[in-house]
Chains A and B, each alone.
Chain A
Amino acid sequence: MNDFTLWDIARNLLLAGRWTLLLSAIAFAGGGILALVLLVLRFGFGKWVQRTIALYVELFQSTPLLMQLFLVYFGLPRLGIDVSAWLAAAVCLTFYSSAFLTDIWRGAVESIPRGQWDGSSSLGLHYLAQLRLVILPQAMRIAIPPTVGFLVQLVKSTALASIVGYHELTRTAQIVTNATFQPFLVYGMVALIYFAICYPLTDLSRRLERRLATNAR
């Protein structure tokens, strides 16, 4: 009855892992660029821009990612905009990660002492040069550990794309389970593959954080 070898199952899952990695990479790159733009706006303009960006972050952090995904995938076609599962997942996760990254990076920039802004402006640097040459290089050191930590959250979040039918790791697990009737084995393996992706990142984030803490002393 069982025509699937262990290797058949493992190979299919590992190959599907590529799409999980690709989706994570796209969402991280897209979200990072968007977050950088929001960061530049956040510190360069007045209260209203600050409040709008805070609201944007709050909206993404206080609603389920699954609802954001459903709104784009099932909702937008009703308004006449057709989106594929792949596009819906990529767009949603990009916005989602931009909100979290904006929040993390804002905290890092705010932790830079006021004197750094004053000093650089007294050297005649304008806002963008201040950010690029003085503030961001310092903020980056603080921001990197939590950013790597967020990457773990992002990889795990891509599993939700399976629900709208995007063929990444979790969706493939469902299909393989339906073919092999071995959910224990398949979901166990899938969990291990996610773990193999996420744990090194978790560990790296912790190491970076520890190094930052010792350097600060």
Chain B
Amino acid sequence: MGYQLDFGALVQYLGLFLEGAAVTLGLTALASVAGIALGIAGAAAARSKNDWVRRLITGYVELIRNTPFIVQMFFIFFGLPSLGLRLSALMAAALAMIINLAAYAIEIIRAGLDAVPPGQAEAGRAMGLHGLGVFGLIVLPQALATVYPALVGQITITMLESAVVSQIAVVDLTHVADLIQSRNFRSFETYLVVTVIYLILALLLRRLLALAGRSLFAGRTP
């Protein structure tokens, strides 16, 4: 007798699935807001005239982009306590996601800033704006509008990669799947359903952010 697939057995766990998805989305939202804010600051600082600031930022970006997310998270969660910094699993996961996304955001936004023609900043200064005003009101909005699709892509990747936080016992969508399949022994159905939930979340997230971008940057893209 072959194995009978039974998805009906999963219906009773609907609440758990929703809770897990909420944690995954919450972490992603936090990482996106904080990561992109740091990304803007880092990309701006990367244009500094100070050699050391530039080197520091390049070093940070390269270190994060060339090591796996899971190792970064393990380092923060297991390694930092020996320096006296003990974080809860949720905080360690959030911090790892922010640090990771920030590095990619710096790289993306830096490219966007480079793509804004210098004439824009010159025109801003000619209109009497100060350095910060030129950056915040003229250069940055155009840069963000150009690289917005790349940022959306990176946010989606962050959401999908966050499945790994289940490994330090953060109760995200993946961890919920682990719990459920250890109760009902229906690992194939459980993981399949959760994979489909991730797929739907990724597609929705991309669609929503694209819509948000269209109203946010209306008329700003060249």
Contacts and interface: CB of A to CB of B under 8 A. Distances in A.
A101 interface: no
B71 A194 contact: yes
Interface in A11-48: none
Contact of B71 (A65, A75, A170, A202): A170
A173 interface: yes
B27 to A, nearest CB: 13
B109 to A, nearest CB: 18
A75 B192 contact: yes
Interface residues of B, number: 42
B71 A190 contact: yes
Contact of B67 (A157, A162, A191): A191
B191 A70 contact: yes
Interface in A188-215: 188, 190-191, 194-195, 198-199, 202
A9 to B, nearest CB: 14
B68 A67 contact: no
Given A62-B160, A194-B66, A187 B195 contact: no
Interface string A139-159: 000000000000010001101
Contacts of B146: none
Contacts of B63: 191, 195
Interface string A73-117: 011111110000000000000000000000000000000000000
A160 interface: yes
Interface string B36-71: 000000000000000000000000001101111111
Nearest to B83: A184
B222 interface: no
- The bracket for how many chain A residues form the interface is 35 or more
A199 B62 contact: yes
A163 B74 CA distance: 12
A188 B187 contact: no
19 contacts: A62-B203, A63-B199, A65-B160, A66-B174, A71-B195, A74-B187, A77-B187, A80-B3, A152-B65, A159-B71, A160-B70, A162-B70, A163-B164, A173-B71, A177-B78, A184-B79, A195-B63, A199-B62, A202-B65
Interface of B: 2-3, 62-63, 65-72, 74-75, 78-83, 156, 160-161, 163-164, 166-167, 174, 177, 181, 185-188, 191-192, 194-195, 198-199, 202-203
